[in-house]
Amino acid sequence: MRTLTAVDGTPVPLPDPDRLVHLQFRRFAGCPVCNLHLRSVQARHSEITAAGVREVVVFHSSREDLLEYVPDLPFAVVADPGRHLYREFGVESAPRALLDPRAWPSIARAVVSGLRHRDRAPLRPAGGRFGLPADFLIAPDGRTVAAKLGTHVDDQWSVDELLALVPNKENHP
């Protein structure tokens, strides 16, 4: 077991001894596609916690860069600018993150949503734009229950996909 530190200073045990952890790897602070995805997670956060899952989101940005983007998120956000966790979990970067045609509709939706929410994406994000997303569901004993390594920028679990992976489905609708 280890303890990560969220950008707000909160300790985050990994694994969590009392519940499953949905460990999400996102790209950079202000990433439009990541912001769109995290809004969907935020909107259904009560369902996720009712299912016995703790959300932990990792970005390859610094704590300082993330602070502007995460003050209203109801879950732990962890800065990993050195990409130590990314390497440990096998999460990669590749130009296909943006070049895969399957990502283009999501990129367009994210840009429109960003304009509506007045999000400001950095022009030159630290760590680059080619990070790939990944999702891991980790049991209290440290086992990885399920994993998904994304092949493009919007290749991650939806909330419905996450909830379908949770054992003891009677805990959620």
pLDDT tens digit string along 108-130? 666 666 556 566 665 565 666 67
Locate the DSSP E strands across 26-143: 53-59, 76-79, 134-138
Q: Is the pLDDT of residue 4 over 90?
A: yes
pLDDT surpassing 80 at residue 140 = yes
Domain boundaries, the chain: 2-171
Q: For domain 2-171, which CATH number applies: 3.30.450.40, 2.60.120.380, 3.30.70.20, 3.40.30.10?
A: 3.40.30.10
d(CA 156, CA 34): 10
Q: What is the pLDDT of residues 11-58, one digit of tens each?
A: 999 999 999 999 999 988 888 888 888 989 999 999 999 999 999 999
Taking the C-alpha atoms of 170, 139, 71 and 25 in order, what is their torsion angle to the nearest 10 degrees? -120
Give me the pLDDT at residue 172, please: 46
